[in-house]
Every structure is written in structure tokens, then in C-alpha cells.
Amino acid sequence: MEKLVIVVPCYNEEEVLKIAAEALRGVLNDLIGKGKISEDSFVLFVNDGSRDRTWELIEAEHQSYPLQVCGVKLARNVGHQFALTAGLLTAKDMSDVTVSIDADLQDDVAVIEEMIDKFHQGCDIVYGVRKERKTDTFFKRTTAQAFYKVQAVMGVKTVYNHADFRLMSKRAVEEFAKYKETNLFLRGMMPLIGYQTGTVYYERKERVAGESKYPLKKMLALAFNGISSFSVKPISLIMALGLVIICFSVLAAIYALISYFTNHVVPGWTSLILSIWFLGGLQLLAIGLVGQYIGKIYIEVKQRPRYNIEKVLKSEE
């Protein structure tokens, strides 16, 4: 039987950690009882530089259940994508299969069994996908749908309504470990691995406690990072827009010349000012967009560590 490690990135999750640990231990015990995973399977909590008692609670859970709860403490806060990566790569050599899930328990832990079944059927990656978004506010639902549609237009291949709730086989994680970039967008990277995939559907629940760690600002940053890390279409669109404006400028020049020679010159101060502001704004937008790509290159070529692990709690076995 395969050894399962459930990877749980945590940032200021003291309100839900004990609840999450109990629920995930229950999943392990159930799967072990059914003979679907080995008895040495465990939960791996990754503390992403939390400022509350999250790490203390992880240590307490490890002391109470040393064989089923382990932990990784990062030296500082590096963000969800890096924390999840740290957990996956730490679990790589200690597991046959991993499942990543957030600590807030909004993702349905009950479908982990279905993921394991898909794995036994030959899938190396199994995506957890939301059935619908009825529980979301109108704004969140609309922006989320727009996010996936924009990514598709930009050529970024993702799974619709899938976040970071997924199963990965050992060889899938080993293949993922070869991707060394600093600008991580895991939802876009997983389809690049290319192994056989499966999908399980679930109803997303309300957060058990605490508050969301992904406000609008972070969601927008994640969306831009996903597009700019996998596509150069934004630059192509800016160039296309520039060509369209040049065409309009030629037409405007022809109109101006005709007006001049036919003595129908009309003072156009307002239109002139508007065009200057428009072109100036477009130029700044284009320069800023190109600057973002150059900044990403600058960060990548430094090849700095993506995270530093301060401490690991693991079973002696």
C-alpha cells in the first residue's frame, strides 16, 4: 500500500489548526482502515511564518500524535505558493502520493478517498474541482469566472474552478521539482507535467473559523502572476493596440491635411489634449508592462532560494 502525505500550508491559522488536524487524522484513519493507504501515512503542516500560535499548535499536535502529524517551519513568510511547494518537496522523499489542501477546510476532505481511488486507477494528478459557486458573493463569483476566462484567452492552461486542492503521485512531484522558477503559479504548472490526470468534484464549504488569507489585492496579484509567468500575450496586445492607434493617427493626419487645404480648420484644443493624455497613458502602461516582465527576469536570474526551512518535525520512523 502507498504512503500518503497530506500537505497543509498554514499562515495564522491558530483558530482552525486543531480542527483541521482532527479532521485530516480522521481521513487517514478511515483510509488506513479500508486498506487504501499504508499505516505510516501522515499530515504535514507547513508554517508559513505565522505571527500567531500556529507553530506552537503544530508542535503540540506532533507531540500528541507523533506518527500522524508532522510539521515544517519556514524561516519567514514567503506566501502560499512557496509554502505549498516547500511542503510538497519535503514530502517528496517520504511519500508515494501527496494531497495538498488548505487549513481552512473549505475543500471537502471526504473526496480525498475518491482521489486515492483515481490514483489507484492510474492517475498521477487528480484535481479537486468545485461543482459550483453558489456560496460566493456576486462580485467574487464574477471575478473568479473572469479570471479563468482571461487566462484562457492569454493562453494559460488551467483547470476551471480548481485551486490547489489536488493529489500528486511521487513521480509527478519529482517532475514538478525540476521546475526551478521563482515566479510560481502552481495551477498553471501542473498541466505542464503531462502525466495522466483525473478530476473529482465537490461542494466548497464555508470557512470553519478565522478569515480568508486571500483578499482582493492578493487575488489580483496571483492572477497577474499567473498570466505573466506563462504568457507574453499582454505585450503582443499592447503592440497590436499601438498599431491600431498608428492607423487612426494616419487617418487623422489625412483629415487634418484635407481640412487645411480646404480652409476648414477648426481649433481642436480639447481633442488635442485628450489624445495627448490617451497616448501618454498608453505609453506608460506599455512601459510598465514591459518593466514587469523585465523585473521577473531580474528575480529569476538571481536564483535565490525560494524559501528557507528553519525546522522539521517528523516521525522517528
Do the Cβ atoms of 167 and 200 come closer than 8 Å? no
- The radius of gyration computed from the CA coordinates of the chain, to the nearest angstrom, equals 25
Residues 17 and 74 in one domain: yes
Q: Could you tell me if residue 291 is inside a domain?
A: yes
Residues 87 and 198 in one domain: yes
Phi-psi region of 7 (alpha: psi -120 to 50; beta: other; left: phi over 0): beta
Residues 241 and 198 in one domain: no
55-91: pLDDT as tens digits: 999 999 999 999 999 999 999 998 888 899 999 999 9
Residues 264 and 181 in one domain: no
Q: Could you tell me if residue 153 is inside a domain?
A: yes
φ, ψ of residue 4 to 5 degrees: the values are -100, 135
pLDDT for 4: 93
3-state secondary structure 54-84: HHHHHHHHHHHCCCCEEEEEECCCCCHHHHH
φ, ψ of residue 76 to 5 degrees: the values are -155, 170
Q: Which domain, by its residues, includes 25? A: 4-215+306-313
| 126, 156, 190, 282 from 291: Cα distances, Å | 36, 20, 27, 14
C-alpha triplet 280, 283, 288: angle, nearest 5°: 125
Q: Could you tell me if residue 288 is inside a domain?
A: yes
Q: Could you tell me if residue 222 is inside a domain?
A: no
Residues 75 and 183 in one domain: yes
Number of H-type helices and E-type strands within the chain: 10, 8
| Residues ≥6 apart with Cβ < 8 Å to 315 | 40, 42, 66, 67, 70
The three cell numbers locating residue 313? 518535525
Residues 266 and 131 in one domain: no
Residues 32 and 165 in one domain: yes
Q: How many domains does the chain have?
A: 2
Q: Could you tell me if residue 267 is inside a domain?
A: yes
Q: Could you tell me if residue 226 is inside a domain?
A: no
Q: Could you tell me if residue 52 is inside a domain?
A: yes
Residues 137 and 251 in one domain: no
Q: Could you tell me if residue 224 is inside a domain?
A: no
Buried b (16+ CB within 10 A) or exposed e, 94-132: bbbbbbbbbbbbbbbbebbbbbbebbeeebbbbbbbbee
Its pTM stands at: 0.73
Full pLDDT tens readout for the chain, 317 residues: 789 999 999 999 988 999 999 999 999 999 999 989 999 999 999 999 899 899 999 999 999 999 999 999 999 998 888 899 999 999 988 889 999 999 888 888 899 999 999 999 999 999 998 887 666 666 666 766 666 666 666 666 777 778 889 999 999 999 998 888 877 778 878 888 888 999 999 888 776 665 655 555 666 666 666 666 666 566 667 767 776 776 776 676 676 667 666 766 566 655 665 577 677 767 767 776 777 777 777 667 777 777 788 898 887 65
Residues 242 and 141 in one domain: no
